[in-house]
Structures are given as C-alpha cells and as structure tokens.
Amino acid sequence: MASDYNLTPNEKNVLLALEELKNANPDELAQKAGMKVETAMQAAFLLDENGLARVDEKVIETYGLTDEGKKYADEGLPERQIINSISGPVSMDELKDKFNPAVVGIATGWLRRKAWATIEKGMIVPTGNADSGDDEKVLDKFGGQERTLEELDASPALMKDMLKRKLVTKNEDKHRSVSITSEGSELVAAGIEVEEEIAQITSEMLKSGQWKNKKFRAYNIQTPPRQIYGAKVHPYQRLIDQMRRIFLDMGFTEIKGEIVQSSFWNFDSLFQPQDHPAREMQDTFHLSSRSELPPEYKDQVCAMHEHGGDTESTGWGGKWSEEIACKNVLRTHTTALTIKYLADNPEPPVKAFSIDRAYRRETIDPTHTPEFEQLEGVVMDKDMSFANLLGCLKEFYHRMGFEDVRFRPGYFPYTEPSVEPEVYVDGLGWVELGGAGVFRKEVTDPLGIKYPVLAWGLGVSRLAMLKLGLKDLRLLYQSDIDWLRKSPVCQL
C-alpha cells in the first residue's frame, strides 16, 4: 500500500506538481513545483526509485548551420549564385573576376553534379535546368535555430551529404521527461500532506526548544548504504611480512642489496660457468653498464673457475673472462646478495635472509612473471650440516602453515648436496617451492669462508598463490582495486 510516510517535502511537492502536469520536462516541472531544476530532478529521481514517477531519458538529434551554412542560407549556395548570374556560356576566368575564386572552385563541381551546367574547354555552359534542390530547401528551413530531422523534413542521406559538405553540424542532446505513474497518482488521491521536515537538529533549535514543534524526517532504512572499503595491507605484502617475521623470530638478520649486480656476484662467485645456459640472453636481463671487480676476490674466483684453485676441485677448465664477469645484469636471484654478504662477513655465526625481488626474462603467463620475489637465506657456522638445513626449512614451512614438507634431490652449480623443498597442498599434491643446499667448496673457498654454509632461495609468489588460493599469479602484481576491495582473500 502506497504511503507518503517516507517522502521528503520536495518529493511531495514534485509529486503534486506532476499530478497536474502528468508529463513534463525538467524546466516545466521545476517551475510548477516552485523549486530549482536540480532540486526538482533530484526529487523526481527519488520518486522514480520508488515507482511513483518515471524519469525518461532520450537522445534527440538536432542539426544546426555552420558559419558556412549560414552564409549560404543568406546568399545562396555557390552553384546557385553562379548559375543565377549567367544566361549563357562563360569562361572560368570571367567568373573568377566577378566571384571569390574559392566560390567558383566549389561551385563548378556542384554545377556538374547537379547537372545545372556542363564544363567545356574552360567554359561553363548552363543546361537551362536549375530547379531548387532539397539541400537548398533544407537550408531555408533553419531560420537560425537547431532543428530536428522532422522539422527539416529531410532524409538522413541528405543530411549526411550536407554534413560532409560542412554546411551543418549534428548535435545529440539528452532530454529528460518526468511523468507520474498510476501508483503516484493513487498516492496523491489518498492525500498528501506537505509540511516542513528537518533532517538535522541545530543547537539553536535545542536552545530555544523549537525542536519540539518540528517534524523529523524519518530514516529510510531500506536504502542501501554506500560501501566503505577500509584501508588495508595488500595480501601479498601481508604474506611477505609474515615470512620476514618468521625469520626475524628465528634470529636471522635481514639484508638488502642492489637490483643491478655484476655478473661476478650474480654468477661467477657462485661457481656458475661462464657458458652456463642461465647466463644466456633469453634468461637474463643484461645491462650495458659494468662494475669493477672486487680485487680481493677476483683472482681466487678466476683460479677456481679455471683449475680449482688451491682445492682438489678441477674447476670448469678453459679461460675465465674478467670482461664477462664485470658486465651488469638485473639480479636473477637474491643469492647474489647472500653470497656477497657472506664474503663481507666471513666470521661465524652468520644467519641472514633477504626477501626481495629478482628478475628473469620469463614470458608472462599465470605462473610466471619477469619480476618475482625470492626468500633467500644462509646459515654459516661451525658444524652446520645438511640435516640442519632441512630442519630449518621444515620449521619455516610449518610456521607458514604447511604440515607436510619433503625434499627432492636438485641441482645447482653452487650447492652440494642440493634439494628442492616441496609442500603438500590438498587438491594440488606436492608443490615445488624453490631450491636449497650446502654451498660447495668452489664457492666458499675463494671468498675466504671457512665453515659450512646452508643456503636456500624460495619462491615467494608461489607460496602466496598457495596461501591465497590463486590460480593466476599476475593478480598479485596488478593493483586491481576491485579485486583488492572485494576478493575474500583480501578481506583480512
């Protein structure tokens, strides 16, 4: 049953005005209701929402004359001016003396097209038939105003031609009209009482006691409130913070470093041969800049690569090139940071980690991005063993909420033994999450590191996908505000 209970005084006034007008444009409505157009329309939209009125919008196309069009409406089209001024053949030159050459230029084409004249050897020869065309009739109809197609009594094809000839412009105007619905009329018939309502109480009203005689606008508890999205930490950042917290809690020091690294620190110090496939253009972002090689290590690293240095290792053999080692790259793993940190801090114990971005030339797909995070860590101390490495990683994954952790044999040029940790995820099975191992002598010896080093580099975004239940890693990197606001994984 309709009731005026929830209507504001403006809505009531507009509804009463509409009942008289039935259908009106915004200006008429505002005038009748005795309010500003915006106020009246605001009320009309509210009435529309409640089914008491209807606001219709339609786009009306109108045409207007361009400056050129106006001129020709007054003076006649160029072809008309010329055909009216001649009674027999005339030469173009003669016409150009009498008329603006631009006018003559435009006119000749149209004289021919309209078959008002032929052009023979530079002479314009009237055909004797120059009836007023539809375009001229339309030009006459404007009378200095915007006109609709109906008012001009013109075909769309003709208007298209005139648009092309730049005689007219086309405008699209949105027109609104408001009409009362039968429900609205019923409500008016049942009686509407307009009385001033207040939505806000002022201190004056309170002081004077006036508020006692006021009518308060009722709350409409049906109106859906505007959604408010609180600020929060990005879910990926939240997980990164959680991982950082775990290592800090386990007594590790966080290290940071440069994104741009020499090949020396990114590859050579890690005993990656200079012809290793990972160093190829298609895997690594190579830069044109270079770095100085650290004088305290470069000879030892060279010796290790070429023949195994002072150790029983044979090295890779061949010639190690300083030229290749000093070339800069975007770090392809954060192991470049931990190895340098160890070289700078060779005294045990060292427990350090880094959680930061690495770069590889990956083709972007749901599980690969050229920029990604790694969680890198090293432990160096007397008597550290492979078992300590597995224990440390297990502990980390447990703290991240993964119960089942296992290790598969892996291969990295810088570790021996090497493993790939995996966690078990319901529905997915065992998921591989990075690499780990104990640094080889070939890595530690040239840098003067005397004790065993446990090392790992774990995929962070892969872990985040598992924790957040995502199928597409790219979501983590695109700041899709809608997803961030609404996705349940972002609700924490």
Ligand X SMILES: N[C@@H](Cc1ccccc1)C(=O)O
Binding residues vs ligand X (CB under 6 A): 333, 335, 412, 415, 434-437, 455-457
Least separation in angstroms between CB 228 and ligand X: 42
439 is in an annotated binding site: yes
Least separation in angstroms between CB 436 and ligand X: 5
Compare residues 392 and 455 and give the one whose CB is closer to ligand X.
455
DSSP string, 135-197: HHHHHHH-TTS-B-HHHHT--HHHHHHHHHTTSEEEEEEEEEEEEE-HHHHHHHHH------E
Compare residues 239 and 455 and give the one whose CB is closer to ligand X.
455
What Å distances lie between residue 345 and 262, 302, 445, CA to CA? 19, 21, 14
Is the sign of the CA dihedral 241, 243, 247, 253 positive or negative? Answer: negative
State which amino acid sits at residue 54.
R
Least separation in angstroms between CB 389 and ligand X: 9
User: What is the number of the residue whose Cβ is closest to ligand X?
Assistant: 457
264 is in an annotated binding site: no
Q: Under a CB-based contact definition with an 8 Å cutoff, are residues 389 and 436 in contact?
A: yes
258 is in an annotated binding site: no
Least separation in angstroms between CB 427 and ligand X: 25
Least separation in angstroms between CB 363 and ligand X: 18
Compare residues 437 and 446 and give the one whose CB is closer to ligand X.
437
Least separation in angstroms between CB 438 and ligand X: 9
372 is in an annotated binding site: no
375 is in an annotated binding site: yes
416 is in an annotated binding site: yes
Compare residues 10 and 269 and give the one whose CB is closer to ligand X.
269
Q: Under a CB-based contact definition with an 8 Å cutoff, are residues 486 and 411 in contact?
A: no
Compare residues 71 and 244 and give the one whose CB is closer to ligand X.
244
- Count other C-beta atoms under 10 Å from residue 104's C-beta: 21
CB proximity list for 416: less than 8 A, separation 6 or greater: 437, 438, 440
Please tell me the distance from the alpha carbon of residue 471 to that of residue 466, in angstroms, as a whole number. Answer: 9
Tokens of 355: 């959680």
- In terms of DSSP H, where are the helices of 214-313? 235-249, 263-266, 295-307
Give the three-class secondary structure for 477. Answer: coil
Please tell me the distance from the alpha carbon of residue 33 to that of residue 180, in angstroms, as a whole number. Answer: 14
Least separation in angstroms between CB 292 and ligand X: 24
Compare residues 186 and 344 and give the one whose CB is closer to ligand X.
344
31 is in an annotated binding site: no
Question: Where do we find the tokens 């038939």?
Answer: 129
Compare residues 261 and 415 and give the one whose CB is closer to ligand X.
415
Residues annotated in a binding site = 335, 374-376, 414, 416, 439
Residues annotated in a binding site for L-phenylalanine = 335, 374-376, 414, 439
Residues annotated in a binding site for Mg(2+) = 416
